[in-house]
Structure 1
Amino acid sequence: MPKLVDHEERRAHIIDALLRTAADSGLHAVTMRSVAIEAGVSVRLVQYYFDTKEQLLLAALTRLAVRMGERVRDRVRAAGSSTAPRDIIEAVLLEAIPTDEESRTFHLVYTEYAVLSVTDPALAGQSFLAAPNEMEGFLVGQLAAAQQAGDTDPCLDARQEAVVLLAVSAGLGLSVLLGQRTADDAAAVLHYHLGRLFPDARTSEGL
């Protein structure tokens, strides 16, 4: 009896091959052939699942976004439902710092996608570009909750502080990718900055 083909598994296998290729050589070096070689399949099979390179790129981006969203939610859950907003904010922002191979691949490829979207109309309209706006809204909510709880200065502009936090975490993540500092050093800088926003707050162990 012929073995049944798991098409979703094959698609995922091909997408993962693209991500590895992009992480090693950059998006500019990705071709249908290079992905096929990395995946150990034929170019025809890659084209069976993805008609164009653009389709493959967008599928890879969607996979990245879903996985990193799961990682952020895992960090928030690990912080606990009764955890203070300061700890939740730190848990979320730490995900912007590449600490392992998966997060390094995400941030490297995501950065390349973002730059490419500036000149590629097909990428410019994709939903992944809205992720920073969604995160900004989330941080505003957490900062507002912290102000209500008396954990930070009630006179702070929560929106402006959220923008600064995102800029700091993104810059730290990029500095790790560029080898300017280690992930531990970047996390220490983030911890220091949050300590200025929440001078009297205590963080949960393990964050």
Structure 2
Amino acid sequence: MPKRVDHAQRRTHIADALVRVAARDGLHAVTMRAVATEAGMSVNLVQYYFDTKAALLHAALERLERQSHDRWAARLAALPRPVTAYDFVEAFLAEALPTDADSRTFHLVWTSYAALALTDPELAAQPFVAGPDRLERRLADVLRQARENGALDRARDPATEAAHLLALSHGLGAGVLVGQRTADAALAVLRAHLDRLFDGPGPAPPPGGARGG
């Protein structure tokens, strides 16, 4: 009887191989052949699942985003109850900083992809900004709830503040990657901004406010 192939598992295996190549050698070194070698399979088999490099890159980004969500959920689960809006947002943004090997890989690959997409129409056509858009909306929802509960000044616009926070997090993350500052220093800057943003601890955010894909 022929062995049953788990196609979803095989796609994940290939995406993980791409991430390893990108983290080790840089995204510019990613080719179908390099990924196939890393995955221990033929180029034809890789192309069976991903007909273009852009499709493979996008699948790898989606994989990294899901893993990042799982790590963030673990951070949230470890926080003391009730979870304040401040702590919720801090955990949300701290996961986006390259503070360990996994988050560094995520930040490195996503930033490299964004840079390549500036001059590659095929990469730019992929909806790789969907993830950041979802994060911004989730942050805005939490900040909106915090404003209603009195933890955030009512004069502040949640959508604008969410955009500010993500831009700050991305900028700090890039600084850590290039050695401008340490991860601890980046976290200190982030916390200083949150101290100015929030007027009080506030109650926990509503269920379902966790980051997701």
Q: What amino acid does structure 2 have at the position aligned with 1:133? A: D
Which residue of structure 2 aligns with residue 131 of structure 1?
Answer: 131
Which residue of structure 1 aligns with residue 196 of structure 2?
Answer: 196
Does the Cα contact within 8 Å between 2:58 and 2:128 map onto a contact in 1? no
Q: Equivalent residue of 2:162, what SS? A: helix
Q: Equivalent residue of 1:128, what SS? A: coil
Which range moves more in the overlay, 145-154 or 92-101? 145-154
Which residue of structure 2 aligns with residue 161 of structure 1?
Answer: 161
Which residue of structure 2 aligns with residue 52 of structure 1?
Answer: 52
Q: What amino acid does structure 2 have at the position aligned with 1:19? A: V
Change beyond 3 A, Cα 1:33–1:83: same
TM-score normalised by length of structure 1: 0.84
> What does 1:74-153 align with in structure 2 at a 5 Å threshold?
74-79=74-79, 82-153=82-153
Which residue of structure 1 aligns with residue 211 of structure 2?
Answer: none
Does the Cα contact within 8 Å between 2:97 and 2:172 map onto a contact in 1? yes
Q: Equivalent residue of 2:51, what SS? A: coil
> What does 1:18-37 align with in structure 2 at a 5 Å threshold?
18-37=18-37
Q: What amino acid does structure 2 have at the position aligned with 1:138? A: R
Q: What amino acid does structure 2 have at the position aligned with 1:22? A: A
Q: What amino acid does structure 2 have at the position aligned with 1:196? A: R
Looking at structure 2, the residues matched to 113 and 189 of structure 1 have their Cα atoms a distance apart, in angstroms, of 26
Which residue of structure 2 aligns with residue 170 of structure 1?
Answer: 170
Looking at structure 1, the residues matched to 80 and 137 of structure 2 have their Cα atoms a distance apart, in angstroms, of 20
Q: What amino acid does structure 2 have at the position aligned with 1:59? A: A
Which range moves more in the overlay, 107-116 or 36-45? 36-45
Q: Equivalent residue of 2:155, what SS? A: coil
How far 1:195 sits from its partner (Å)?
1.1
Higher relative contact order (CA 8 A, sep 6+): 2
Which range moves more in the overlay, 144-153 or 72-81? 72-81
Q: Equivalent residue of 2:156, what SS? A: coil
Does the Cα contact within 8 Å between 1:32 and 1:46 map onto a contact in 2? yes
Unaligned runs of 5+ residues in structure 2 are 205-213
Q: What amino acid does structure 1 have at the position aligned with 2:185? A: D
Looking at structure 2, the residues matched to 49 and 162 of structure 1 have their Cα atoms a distance apart, in angstroms, of 36
Q: What amino acid does structure 2 have at the position aligned with 1:169? A: S
Q: Equivalent residue of 1:180, what SS? A: coil
Unaligned runs of 5+ residues in structure 1 are none
How far 1:77 sits from its partner (Å)?
4.0
Which residue of structure 1 aligns with residue 209 of structure 2?
Answer: none
Q: What amino acid does structure 2 have at the position aligned with 1:75? A: R
CA offsets per residue over residues 117-142 of structure 1, 9 Å max, x none? 23333333433312222222222222
Q: Equivalent residue of 1:47, what SS? A: helix
